[in-house]
């Protein structure tokens, strides 16, 4: 049986989640490996969520937010950008594969882009194989 | 070499003067512990207390740790070495203390020693500066003309490791952790009440000293100190099982400095990097 990764998607309510909705309503195909959690803003994401997700058995984490400058709350994603950049560096220095964590800006009208990103990211995680470093769910 | 006796004399003299004049309620410095190698942090509250103050090469503790314990508005004089003064600046930036409530007794010092190992403390484990960045009264001669080595040089070896080797290294190191939280107690920037690790709702991490909880605790602590760690190295000196926490803190500080062009605790006017943003920040930092 081929490896089917579990991917946690954390999507901002106003852009990426609506974008995912659009991808659904326009019947675009994308892999079903993504489990989406909706948050009100990308700056709602506590970096511990990402560490915890990896511990609880996620093979990859995809964070989606509005394009910088388009945030529903004006500046939320600008804070998130700095914060998540640090998260990425920490995971990398701890020895986690950097490809397992990705941040993408996807707006509400970019259903196509959402499907594309998910397909690409799932492919990437499949190539990396199961995440065993932080996983405590065995 | 720094003249420790002269600094000690000056420290006693200034502490007495400030306490006598009533300019401050407390002087934060060091007193004799059970032997010379183990001085202890000490808060002198009256003129008689000031006689107990000492300063020698083992007085490594970062006294900025104790600032946040006093009610706001308390007038405090504090003995600061180079990294300690950066901690004070960082606390002022975070509005934990006010500049006008503080009198900084600056101590330029070279040749501090680790009480546990007896080794000299240099840029390998700390920021490697000699002179306090901010001071009101200087207790010794400023040190100039010394070769400055970058505090980040020590990282090269670990950055060159491949991912799996680095993971094994950190897993082995963090697995040693007995969760005594000495790193948190020693850190001048760890003042959250309650700390995320003490919270039960939500319960962020296991409290048992085992691999998953240790990993969660330390990674999150590194994150919380991103752009705020002033590289005094106290966490690793306080650690009873000698985890090289300073390495990770240095790495995060280096990345923050590269990404946001700002080092922690250098200027009072700055804002901590993670509670600030620039519209022109590049998306490249996320790659």
CA distance B179 to B195: 13
The overall average pLDDT reported for chain A is: 94
Is the Cβ pair B223, A55 closer than 8 Å? no
> Which of B171, B222, B281 is nearest residue A81 as measured by Cβ atoms?
B281
Q: Is the peptide bond before B19 cis (omega within 30 degrees of 0)?
A: no
Place of tokens 């100190």: B225
Residues of chain B with pLDDT > 90, as a percent, come to 79
**3 state SS for B7-53:** HHHHHHHHHHHHHHCCCCCEEEEEECCCCCCCCEEEEECCCCHHHHE
Residue of B nearest to A68 (CA): B279
Check whether A1 has a pLDDT greater than 80: no
Residues of chain B contacting A83 with CB distance shorter than 8 Å = 274
Give which of B158, B201, B223 to mutate to test A binding, by max A Cβ within 10 Å. Answer: B223
Per-residue pLDDT tens over the stretch B108-146: 998 899 888 888 888 889 988 899 999 999 998 888 877
Instruction: Give me the pLDDT at residue A138, please.
Output: 67
CA distance B132 to B209: 37
Residue of B nearest to A100 (CA): B287
Per-residue pLDDT tens over the stretch A69-92: 999 999 999 999 999 999 999 999
- In sequence order, the 6+-apart residues with CB closer than 8 A to the CB of B71 are none
> Which of A82, A90, A92 is nearest residue B277 as measured by Cβ atoms?
A82
As for the ipTM of the complex, it is: 0.94
> Which of B166, B248, B274 is nearest residue A83 as measured by Cβ atoms?
B274
- In sequence order, the 6+-apart residues with CB closer than 8 A to the CB of B237 are B60, B114, B115, B116, B125, B186
- In sequence order, the 6+-apart residues with CB closer than 8 A to the CB of B94 are B228, B272
CA distance B85 to B12: 19
Question: Between the CA of residue B114 and those of B12, B49, B173, what are the distances in Å?
Answer: 23, 26, 20
Instruction: Quickly state the pLDDT bin for A39 (edges 50, 70, 90).
Output: very high
Instruction: Give me the pLDDT at residue A41, please.
Output: 95
Residues of chain B with pLDDT > 70, as a percent, come to 100
Looking at the complex, report in whole angstroms how far the Cα of residue B260 sits from the nearest Cα belonging to chain A: 9
Place of tokens 């995912």: A20
Inter-axis angle of helices A47-55 and B211-224, nearest 10 = 160
- In sequence order, the 6+-apart residues with CB closer than 8 A to the CB of B280 are none
Per-residue pLDDT tens over the stretch B226-247: 999 999 999 999 999 999 999 9
Strands (E), B113-219: 137-138
Check CB contact of B241 with chain A, cutoff 8 Å: no
Q: Count other C-beta atoms under 10 Å from residue B220's C-beta.
A: 21
Instruction: Give me the pLDDT at residue B234, please.
Output: 93
Is the Cβ pair A93, B248 closer than 8 Å? yes
Low-confidence ranges of chain B (pLDDT < 70): 1
Per-residue pLDDT tens over the stretch B30-40: 999 888 888 99
- B136, B103 in Cβ contact below 8 A? yes
Check whether A117 has a pLDDT greater than 90: yes
Residues of B (118-177) whose Cβ lies below 8 Å from A? 158-159, 163-171
Looking at the complex, report in whole angstroms how far the Cα of residue A76 sits from the nearest Cα belonging to chain B: 10
Looking at the complex, report in whole angstroms how far the Cα of residue A78 sits from the nearest Cα belonging to chain B: 6
- A88, A46 in Cβ contact below 8 A? no
- A60, A131 in Cβ contact below 8 A? yes
Instruction: Give me the pLDDT at residue B104, please.
Output: 95
Instruction: Give me the pLDDT at residue A137, please.
Output: 82
């Amino acid at each position: 049986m081929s490896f089917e990764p579990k991917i946690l998607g954390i999507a901002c309510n106003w852009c990426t989640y609506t974008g995912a909705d659009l991808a659904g309503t326009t019947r675009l195909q994308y892999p079903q490996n993504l489990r989406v959690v909706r948050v009100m803003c990308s700056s709602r994401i506590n970096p511990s969520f990402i560490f915890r997700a990896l511990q609880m058995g996620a093979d990859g984490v995809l964070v989606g937010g509005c394009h910088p400058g388009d945030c529903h709350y004006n500046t939320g994603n600008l804070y998130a950008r700095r914060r998540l950049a640090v998260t990425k560096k920490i995971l990398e220095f701890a020895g986690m594969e950097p490809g397992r964590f990705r941040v993408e800006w996807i707006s509400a009208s970019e259903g196509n882009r959402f499907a594309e990103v998910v397909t690409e990211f799932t492919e990437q995680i499949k190539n990396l194989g199961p995440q065993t470093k932080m996983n405590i769910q065995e | 070499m720094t003249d420790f006796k002269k600094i000690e004399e000056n420290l006693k003299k200034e502490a007495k003067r400030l306490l006598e004049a009533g300019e401050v309620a407390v002087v934060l410095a060091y007193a004799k512990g059970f032997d010379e190698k183990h001085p202890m942090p000490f808060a002198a509250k009256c003129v008689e207390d000031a006689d107990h103050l000492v300063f020698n090469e083992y007085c490594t503790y970062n006294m900025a740790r104790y600032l946040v314990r006093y009610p706001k508005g308390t007038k405090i004089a504090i003995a600061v070495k180079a990294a300690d003064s950066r901690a004070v600046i960082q606390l002022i930036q975070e509005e934990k203390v006010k500049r006008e409530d503080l009198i900084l007794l600056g101590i330029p010092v070279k040749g501090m020693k680790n009480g546990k190992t007896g080794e000299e403390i240099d840029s390998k484990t700390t920021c490697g500066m000699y002179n306090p960045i901010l001071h009101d009264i200087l207790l010794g001669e400023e040190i100039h003309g010394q070769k400055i080595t970058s505090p980040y040089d020590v990282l090269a070896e670990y950055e060159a490791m491949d991912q799996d080797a680095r993971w094994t290294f950190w897993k082995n190191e963090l697995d040693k952790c007995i969760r005594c939280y000495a790193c948190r107690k020693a850190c001048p920037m760890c003042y959250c009440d309650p700390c995320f690790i003490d919270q039960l709702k939500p319960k962020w991490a296991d409290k048992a000293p085992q691999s998953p909880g240790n990993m969660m605790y330390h990674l999150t602590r590194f994150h919380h100190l991103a752009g705020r760690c002033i590289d005094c190295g106290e966490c690793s000196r306080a650690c009873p099982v000698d985890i090289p926490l300073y390495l990770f803190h240095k790495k995060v500080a280096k990345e923050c400095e590269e990404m946001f062009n700002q080092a922690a605790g250098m200027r009072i006017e700055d804002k901590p990097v993670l509670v600030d943003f620039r519209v022109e920040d590049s998306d490249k930092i996320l790659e």
